[in-house]
Amino acid sequence: MKILLAIDGSEFSDTAVEEVAGRPWPEATEIDVLAVYEPPAVPATETWALPPNYHDEIEKASQEQARAATNKAIERLRSGKTDLKINSEITRGYPADVILDRANRWGTDLIVVGSHGYSGLKRFLLGSVSQNVSSHAKCSVEIVRKKETMES
């Protein structure tokens, strides 16, 4: 079985990692941990000058965050499991597009993504990677939601 685990370093993708790590997968299961960071956006029309290294620094920080999230996910997936083959990829692009492209190229059986749970205006403005992936994937998709804790 080929599982594409898409992460972004958020608590929501950590929940997806926990879900995948906690299951007994069939022998010879492969997990591809995919972290996608978006190209830096210019904050507004440039009426003021950005520092010359603005885009480079933003991209470098995004890569480091993606690398840290990937390493953390791989460490959790490997804890106590020796029979999983785990690959990873960190790439630049628009998350839903990259996830769908990678799933198609790799012949993925299952895509697992976390959900931020946005609704209303936030969902309209920010979009929903999980909804886009589930609507366009050619394989099964599992959207993992973070359970809300109730305090007494």
Cα separation, 25 vs 21, in Å, equals 9
Does the structure show a pLDDT above 60 at 86? yes
Which DSSP state fits 25?
P
How far apart (Å, rounded) are the C-alpha atoms in residues 96 and 24?
Answer: 27
The average confidence (pLDDT) of the chain is 86
Pull the structure tokens for residue 18: 């926990």
| Percent of the chain at pLDDT exceeding 90 | 61
Domain boundaries, the chain: 2-41+53-140
The answer to whether 109 touches 1, Cβ cutoff 8 Å, is yes
Q: Where are the alpha helices (DSSP H) in 26-128?
A: 54-78, 95-106, 120-126
pTM: predicted TM-score of the whole model, two decimal places: 0.85
| Residue 72 to residue 59: CA distance in whole angstroms | 20
Please count the residues of the chain.
Answer: 152
> Residue 46: pLDDT above 60?
no
Right CATH for 2-41+53-140 from 2.60.20.30, 3.40.50.620, 3.40.50.720, 3.30.70.100: 3.40.50.620
Tens digit of each residue's pLDDT (9 = 90 or more) over 90-142 = 999 999 999 999 999 999 999 999 987 655 544 444 458 888 999 999 999 99
